[in-house]
């Protein structure tokens, strides 16, 4: 009897540690995304929609080369380290990290040199010459940020989530501080978009130094990569191919969309402004759930991978269901705010009514976008990289078709329609594959309860917003509606047994009383 009790206690302690780690990573991720979001607001107000579009296009093309050089390596390295830990082969961890760094440098350094040698012909890729200038400002940081990504992948595999999150937060803070100084306080003839690009380069260099310094401080070493290069390369290629295809697709859209808009009768400036609104204003708001879902994936992937390789099917299925339900809850909590207050959000953040209308129009895309993010991470941790590549290509094909065919009818809305089609296809196919891999995905009743709570919140929020807008000025109406929606969510989500407010309050006050007793 005692061994069973000890096992039960150990399991409870394990789950508590997992929740605490997820909460810690979520806090860092939320802080990072909040700072980045505020910085994006500053950029939108200082650069304008057109300047923000130029900035976004240049970084999108740079992301292609960054993806090619390192995108598949961090997640593959993390899984490799987890596998070595499961097999008890700890000495192979340093060799795997060394192999990943070598592979990243083997791609990023030659690519940087070649791009500088072919600067004139490559600059013709951009429809606006300002984009080329920004791209070549950021390009020297390619090798540094590639190695940084790999080293962070070793933190991930070793479950050093604090270091992983802290270094990423420092990178964002450096970028923001440098950007604010260069854009607001430095008086120079250099264009604002160029100064913003120099801030990005500086953040890459500093994050590289921080990550490498911490790696060596914690006993990290570079050893012979013999025996690790080929397995790492073979495992990372499907992930790299998928993410490279994603970056290429984004770059292709950044080129095709303005051309299709001009063919539909829009001016070049209007086309770039529409692109800047969608990717510079709407996309950051739609990506808010990623701050929370990404942290769940960060903590879950090493755990899921280790259980998968040890053949613990029951644990893998339970973790999968829990992650999907948590992801749906996060999206469901945000959905009423986007539907009811989306237009006000665009005006409040960017002083741009067009962005607000788009946020409200594509609010439902939050659900498939969130499911795609978590399911892809889980599938990659179980060695399904080739499957996720195929799923991604199916969704991207729909995105490209919408970008080519719909600008004449929807303008910038063509990009939103493409996002919706892409997210729905990839989410559906990923969930079907997860069900096949885990053998269980019993979330139907949970989804029905969540749907009922969201619909009731929206049904209460829309007339409340109309009433407040009629009798109050803009900001008081916006604030009162947000508060009413928050209260409605607490009540309805509790009634539907989606959140346990009583338990959360008890834990909160228990911690407060414990702190007070310790101080006294």
pLDDT digits (tens, 9 = 90+) for 9-52: 444 444 445 556 666 666 776 777 777 777 877 887 788 777 87
Which DSSP helix (H) or strand (E) runs through 304? helix 288-309
pLDDT of res. 25: 67
> Contact, 203 vs 152, CB < 8 A?
no
CA distances from 280 to 94, 197, 409 (A): 39, 15, 22
The pLDDT assigned to 12 comes to: 41
Per residue in 73-114, pLDDT (tens digit) is 787 787 777 777 666 666 677 788 888 888 888 889 999 999
Distance between CA 88 and CA 83 in Å, rounded?
8
Q: Which of 188-197, 214-223, 338-347, 460-469 has the highest mean pLDDT?
A: 460-469
Taking only the tens place, the pLDDT of each residue in 142-179 is 999 888 888 887 887 777 777 777 888 888 888 888 88
On the 0-12 / 13-18 / 19+ scale of CB atoms within 10 A, 471 is: exposed
C-alpha 286/C-alpha 416 separation (Å) is 11
For the cut 80, the answer to whether the pLDDT of residue 3 exceeds it is: no
pLDDT of residue 505: 56
Cut 0.85: pTM above it: no
Taking 3-state DSSP, the helix, strand and coil percentages for the chain, each rounded to the nearest 5, stand at 90, 0, 10
- Spatial separation of the C-alpha atoms in residues 93 and 223, rounded to whole Å: 9
Contact 487, 460 (CB under 8 A): no
In 351-412, where does DSSP find H-type helix? 353-361, 366-381, 385-405, 407-410
The model's confidence at residue 506, banded by pLDDT at 50, 70 and 90, is low
Distances (CA, A) of 450 to 344, 367, 445: 25, 12, 9
Q: Answer whether residue 508 shows pLDDT above 60.
A: no
Instruction: Put residue 383 in one of left, alpha, beta given phi > 0 → left and psi -120 to 50 → alpha.
Output: left
- Pull the structure tokens for residue 44: 């939108």
Work out the average pLDDT over 213-228. 79
Long-range pairs for 463-471 at CB < 8 Å and ≥24 separation?
Answer: 464/340, 465/340, 465/341
Q: Quick one: how far is CA 69 from the chain centroid?
A: 19
Query: How confident is the model over 509-517, as a mean pLDDT?
Result: 49
What pLDDT band is residue 298 in, cutting at 50, 70 and 90? low
Q: Is residue 510 pLDDT above 70, yes or no? A: no
pLDDT, residue 109, reads 92
Residue 88: the pLDDT is 65
Place of tokens 């989530």: 161
Instruction: Give the C-alpha separation, 291 to 293, whole Å.
Output: 6
Q: What is the pLDDT of residues 414-435, one digit of tens each?
A: 888 888 999 999 999 988 888 8
Residue 455 has pLDDT above 90, yes or no: yes
What pLDDT score was predicted for residue 284? 80
**Alpha-carbon distance values, 13 to 10, 19, 300, 319, 407 (Å):** 5, 10, 16, 16, 54
Nearest alpha carbon to residue 76 among 106, 96, 102: 96
Asked whether the predicted pLDDT for residue 343 surpasses 70, the reply is yes
Higher pLDDT pick, 191 / 10: 191
Q: How many CA atoms lie within 13 A of 371 on its CB side?
A: 26
Q: What pLDDT score does 87 carry?
A: 66
HSE on the CB side for 144, CA within 13 Å? 17
Q: What is the pLDDT of residue 249?
A: 77
Quick one: pLDDT band at residue 503, thresholds 50, 70, 90? low
Q: Is the pLDDT of residue 58 over 80?
A: yes
CA angle 318, 93, 203 (to 5 degrees): 90
Mean model confidence pLDDT for the chain: 79
- How many Cβ atoms sit within 10 Å of the Cβ of residue 409? 10
Q: How confident is the model at residue 354 (pLDDT cuts 50, 70, 90)?
A: confident
């Amino acid at each position: 009897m005692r061994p069973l009790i000890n096992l039960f206690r150990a399991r409870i302690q394990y789950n508590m540690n997992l929740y605490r780690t997820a909460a810690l990573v979520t806090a860092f991720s939320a802080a990072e995304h909040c700072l980045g979001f505020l910085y994006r607001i500053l950029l939108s107000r200082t650069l304008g929609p057109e300047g923000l579009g130029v900035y976004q296009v240049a970084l999108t093309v740079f992301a292609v080369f960054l993806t090619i050089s390192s995108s598949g390596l961090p997640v593959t390295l993390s899984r490799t380290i987890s596998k070595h830990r499961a097999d008890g082969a700890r000495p192979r961890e340093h060799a795997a990290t060394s192999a990943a760094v070598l592979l990243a440098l083997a791609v990023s350094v030659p690519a940087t040199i070649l791009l500088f040698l072919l600067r004139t012909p490559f600059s013709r890729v951009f429809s606006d010459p300002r984009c080329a200038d920004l791209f070549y400002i950021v390009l020297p940081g390619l090798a540094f940020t590639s190695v940084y990504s790999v080293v962070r992948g070793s933190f991930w595999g070793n479950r050093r989530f604090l270091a992983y999150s802290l270094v990423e937060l420092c990178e964002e803070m450096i970028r923001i501080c440098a950007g604010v100084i260069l854009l607001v306080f430095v008086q120079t003839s250099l264009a604002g978009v160029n100064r913003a690009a120099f801030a990005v380069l500086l953040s890459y260099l500093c994050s590289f130094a921080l990550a490498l310094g911490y790696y060596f401080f914690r006993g990290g070493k570079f050893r012979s990569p013999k025996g690790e290069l080929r397995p790492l390369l073979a495992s990372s290629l499907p992930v790299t191919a998928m993410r490279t295809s994603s970056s290429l697709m984004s770059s292709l859209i950044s080129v095709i969309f303005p051309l299709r808009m001009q063919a539909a009768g829009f001016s070049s400036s209007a086309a770039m402004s529409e692109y800047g609104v969608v990717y510079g204003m709407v996309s950051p708001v739609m990506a808010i759930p990623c701050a929370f879902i990404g942290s769940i994936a960060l903590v879950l992937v090493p755990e899921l991978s280790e259980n998968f390789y040890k053949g613990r099917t029951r644990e893998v299925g339970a973790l999968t269901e829990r992650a999907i339900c948590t992801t749906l809850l996060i999206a469901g909590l945000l959905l009423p705010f986007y539907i009811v207050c989306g237009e006000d959000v665009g005006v409040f953040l960017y002083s741009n009514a067009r962005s607000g209308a788009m946020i409200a129009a594509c609010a439902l895309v939050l659900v498939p976008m969130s499911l795609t993010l978590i399911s892809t991470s889980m599938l990659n941790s179980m060695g399904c990289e080739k499957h996720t590549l195929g799923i991604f290509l199916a969704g991207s094909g729909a995105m490209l078709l919408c970008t080519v065919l719909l600008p004449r009818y929807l303008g910038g809305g063509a990009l939103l329609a493409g996002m919706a089609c892409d997210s729905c296809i990839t989410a559906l196919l990923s969930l079907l594959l997860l069900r096949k891999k885990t053998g269980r995905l019993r979330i139907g009743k949970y989804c029905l309860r969540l749907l009922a709570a969201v619909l009731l919140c929206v049904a209460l929020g829309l007339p409340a917003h109309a009433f407040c807008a009629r009798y109050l000025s803009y900001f008081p109406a916006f604030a009162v509606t947000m508060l009413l929606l928050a209260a409605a969510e607490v009540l309805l989500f509790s009634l539907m047994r989606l959140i346990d407010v009583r338990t959360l309050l008890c834990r909160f006050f228990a911690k407060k009383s414990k702190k007070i007793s310790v101080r006294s």
